[in-house]
Amino acid sequence: METIQQGHQDTMSELDVVITGGAVATIGGVIDCDVGIHNGSIAILARNLGAKGRQVIDASGKLVLPGGIDSHCHIAQLSSSGLETADDFESGTRSAAAGGNTCLIPFAAQHRGQTLRHTIDQYHARADGKAIIDYAFHLIISDATDEAIREELPALIEEGYTSFKIYMTYDLLKLNDREILNVLATARSHGAMVMVHAENHDVIGWLTERLLAAGHEAPKYHSAAHTEIAESEATHRAIALAEIVDLPILIVHVSAKEAINEIARARARGLKIFGETCPQYLFLTAKDLDRPGFEGAKFMCSPPPRDAENQRSVWRALETGVLEVFSSDHAPYRYAGTDGKAAAGPNAAFHKVANGVPGLETRLPLLFSEGVGKGRLSLESFVNLTATRASKLYGLYPRKGTIAVGADADIAIWDPDKTVTIRHELLHDNMDYTPYEGRTVTGWPILTLSRGEIVWDGEQVIGVPGRGAFLRCDRPGPAASRNSSVLERAISGA
């Protein structure tokens, strides 16, 4: 920032912080006004507020945006294979804040044999005293027992855990169709949002067995095993199951053209189906998995990056609104050592390599540079994709995700002309690489405020671990059903 000036002593008429001179962007438009902050909330939006601020931030020539909400990330999470992510709540929120984010929604991941209550308690203990910015939790449901779905889940929804993720693949995570229907039915009854990892488990397993039998073990064969058809078929099936129950669902990390088309076709039939994508599907391709030696492991995630044609389809889906949320799916497994990608050996077969790529800090600059900067996205669309839509889908709006009177003063100030070449040593996570090494972007967050307090000053993260608060989520409006389920129609004789 150009200047941060201290004002006069406290008076009843003064604001704690005033941001002056910037272009303030929301999904409704861009206006030139000042932002007045009091007690951590936005108190007033008006011109010429500078004289009323005890602290004045000059944002002349800059953009004043809602802080990003990364609504899909894996922090301090133990995978089903026993590996823990490299980032805990301190390093993860530190990196997020430096990337212009003010809220994270990571996962509290249930493992087989655990109760949902124990899972939630476990993750609160992991976050306690560490988070620099605010956070909520999604549940991951992997053990859909009658007790978990009929008793524990409704109680947890009531307590503010109003979204959860289910998997259609991975041996120790996947639910069968009957279990999925049970989860969807409970979500419908209690007003929760269900996120679906849509890949056909048996297709992936069948292809994997045959690839390995033919001696194809290199990272590039991960992409072949996780074929686009596995994603599109599972997306179609997830939508069909949701239609039976009459429940809106969100298909996460969409990577392929035909999966996008499944979502678009469902919407054309009047279904409420939401879609999310991630940086890896815009900025990486399957060719990255074919780098020399084991290097391709750095780019392995599920679904995998596709080809250029699919990449173009993902961009079009963002531009046209078929995909409404842009999250990182930050899954930080280190490249070197025995606790990440190489846990099964320095040249492990692709099916034994930890899936996931880091992206908390680079998510927003990548999309801003190539989306807003290249004219693919308006600034309003950028705000919606990276903050506002997630806050609505997960029950945080209007506390988070917008610049409006009464909202939390979660704000990122951007220099739209700042050019940065992404290098791992510039980032603040606990990883040993970034998949976007050497990529130059234009546009970078130079100040991040969480509830009116500066946590990133453009040079270093100054937010104190433990200041981040847990957020209880409301029942999200977009999760509400609109018609009647197949079962209800059958019972009524309709």
Whole-angstrom distance, CA of residue 343 vs CA of residue 332: 13
Q: Cα–Cα–Cα angle for 233, 237, 239, nearest 5°?
A: 120
Q: What order of strands is seen across the sheet that includes strand 23-26? A: 29-32, 23-26, 63-66, 411-421, 440-450, 453-456
Task: Give the model's confidence band at 494: pLDDT under 50 very low, under 70 low, under 90 confident, else very high.
Answer: low
Residues in the chain: 494
- How many other β-carbons are positioned within 10 Å of the β-carbon of residue 284? 21
Is 50 exceeded by the pLDDT of residue 11?
Answer: no
Whole-angstrom distance, CA of residue 90 vs CA of residue 95: 9
Alpha helices in 57-200 (DSSP H): 89-98, 116-127, 146-147, 153-158, 177-190
Residue partners of 454: CB distance under 8 A and separation at least 6: 447, 448, 462, 463
C-alpha closest to that of 257 among 290, 281, 280: 281
Whether the link from the prior residue into 445 is cis, omega within 30° of 0, is: no
Whole-angstrom distance, CA of residue 244 vs CA of residue 338: 45
Domain assignments of the chain as residue spans, ordered by start: 66-384+475-479
Whole-angstrom distance, CA of residue 438 vs CA of residue 143: 42
State the pLDDT at residue 488: 87
Q: What's the mean pLDDT in 270-296?
A: 97
- How many other β-carbons are positioned within 10 Å of the β-carbon of residue 81? 13
Task: Give the model's confidence band at 79: pLDDT under 50 very low, under 70 low, under 90 confident, else very high.
Answer: confident
Note whether 331 and 468 are within 8 A (CB).
Answer: no
Q: Cα–Cα–Cα angle for 408, 194, 99, nearest 5°?
A: 40
Task: Give the model's confidence band at 1: pLDDT under 50 very low, under 70 low, under 90 confident, else very high.
Answer: very low
Is 50 exceeded by the pLDDT of residue 279?
Answer: yes
Evaluate whether the domain defined by 66-384+475-479 bears CATH number 3.20.20.140: yes
Q: What's the mean pLDDT in 74-80?
A: 91
Whole-angstrom distance, CA of residue 412 vs CA of residue 292: 39
Whole-angstrom distance, CA of residue 309 vs CA of residue 85: 31
Is 50 exceeded by the pLDDT of residue 266?
Answer: yes
Whole-angstrom distance, CA of residue 6 vs CA of residue 29: 30
Over residues 368-399, the pLDDT tens digits come to 999 999 999 999 999 999 999 999 999 999 99
Note whether 434 and 362 are within 8 A (CB).
Answer: yes
Residue 470, SS3?
A: strand
Whether the link from the prior residue into 398 is cis, omega within 30° of 0, is: yes
State the pLDDT at residue 487: 83
State the pLDDT at residue 106: 98
- Cα–Cα distances (Å) from 186 to 33, 150, 246, 402, 456, in that order, read 45, 7, 12, 30, 40
Residue 70, SS3?
A: strand
Q: What's the mean pLDDT in 425-435?
A: 98
Alpha-carbon Rg for the chain, nearest whole angstrom, is 22
C-alpha closest to that of 385 among 69, 57, 38: 69
